Structure 1
Amino acid sequence: MSVDLLSQLPLFATDQQLAVAIVGKERAAMWRKVVIPQLEKKGFPRIDPLHDGRPVPLVRKFYDGYFGITAGFAAVAPDGKEDWSVWKRSRRKSLASE
């Protein structure tokens, strides 16, 4: 059973704390140097200067969106009204050619 290490962090965590919680101690240095700059381009929470750390709830929210956990069904918008005449017409054509 896995342990949610993010939930054990303070409200504002350092990059080192986040790295260990997310990818483990062995890969933490690489994640901080290589991955964080890439993730920041995609909306990863920045360091809050007042608290000298990244807000852990926003880091969790970022990853929920990153993996599509929060997307659900609301992410897909309807593309317009259905035109059933097109479907019926194409269905008749395919049956006639058989």
Structure 2
Amino acid sequence: MTDDPLSQLPLFATDQQLAVAVVGKARASMWVKTVIPQLEKKGFPRIDPLHDGRPVPLVRRFYDGYFGITAGFNVAAPDGKEDLSIWKRSKRARK
């Protein structure tokens, strides 16, 4: 079992359920009223009318992208062997 609050939710969750999982019970109502409308402008999953909730896997995917997790770590991978011999010390450093 995992401590991840999103994994404890049903496949389609209400805004209140998502809010509690994301920011906690104390800030949930604020998050529903002010944050969700802002996030929807950035691609936050919409409520599915058939299931009357937001798809939790898409919410997780949204946050992975929001925090840059989906970019992966290859962005910072070295692109080849470094040739340190090309660096020269400045004249000030030699004194």
TM-score, with structure 2 as normaliser: 0.74
Quote the RMSD (CA, aligned, Å). 1.8
Report the counterpart of residue 19 of structure 2 in structure 1: 19
The answer for the alignment partner of 2:33 in structure 1 is 33
Alpha-carbon shift at residue 73 of structure 1 (Å):
5.4
* Residue number in structure 1 paired with 2:48: 48
SS at match of 2:34: helix
Which deviations, in whole Å up to 9, do the C-alpha atoms of 1:8-58 show, x marking residues without a partner? 000000000000000000000000000000000000000000000000000
- Percent of residue pairs bearing the same amino acid type: 85
- 1:59-70 equivalent positions in 2, closer than 5 A: 59-70=59-70
Q: 1:71 aligns to what?
A: 71
- Paired position in structure 2 for 1:8: 8
Deviation at 1:3, TM superposition (A): 1.9
In structure 2, what is the Cα distance between the partners aligned to 1:68 and 1:74? 12
The verdict on how the C-alpha distance between 1:72 and 1:32 changes in structure 2, with shifts beyond 3 A counting, is: same
One-letter identity of the residue aligned with 2:55:
P
Against the structure 1 CA distance between its residues 50 and 74, is the aligned structure 2 distance closer, same or farther, given a 3 Å change threshold?
farther
Aligned to 1:58: 58
Q: Unmatched 5+ residue regions in structure 1?
A: 76-98
**Alignment gaps of 5+ in structure 2:** 76-95
TM-score by length of 1: 0.72
Give the whole-Å Cα distance in 1 for the aligned partners of 2:15 and 2:57. 14
